[in-house]
Amino acid sequence: MRHYSGYAIASGFWSYGVHGCSLQQTRAQTAPGSTFDEGWPSLGRWARAVEGGGLFPVVRPWPSSWTLRQKAERIATTLLALAAGDERDPQMRLRRGAELAA
């Protein structure tokens, strides 16, 4: 069980992987509030869940040498592509892609 919705997780990957935000900026946008964690380890945990097939299983595997940012970009753009015909607004497409991939 995750504490965040699929869309919130997808938004985190989008902010970090596509927009190039830092982990701290990504956390502030996705999960406002205080945290005791340095950076934002949740993003890495979520990426490992995608890699293991437990989250957004439609995302293709990536090379083992990829950075978290590269993985986040792959995940976000895959989710965006899932809803390519549904919406023009990227955030709505990302939300719909996360729903379709769940």
The full set of domain ranges for the chain reads 6-101
Q: What's this model's pTM, rounded to 2 decimal places? A: 0.89
Residue 30 pLDDT level (bands cut at 50, 70, 90): confident
pLDDT at 67 over 90: yes
72-92: pLDDT as tens digits:
999 999 999 998 876 688 889
Rounded to 10 degrees, the C-alpha dihedral 6/54/58/23 comes to 50
d(CA 29, CA 63): 28
Closest CA to 91 of 24, 19, 16, 14: 14
35-47: pLDDT as tens digits:
656 667 889 999 9
Q: For the chain, where are the alpha helices, taking DSSP H only?
A: 6-13, 23-30, 41-51, 68-82, 90-101
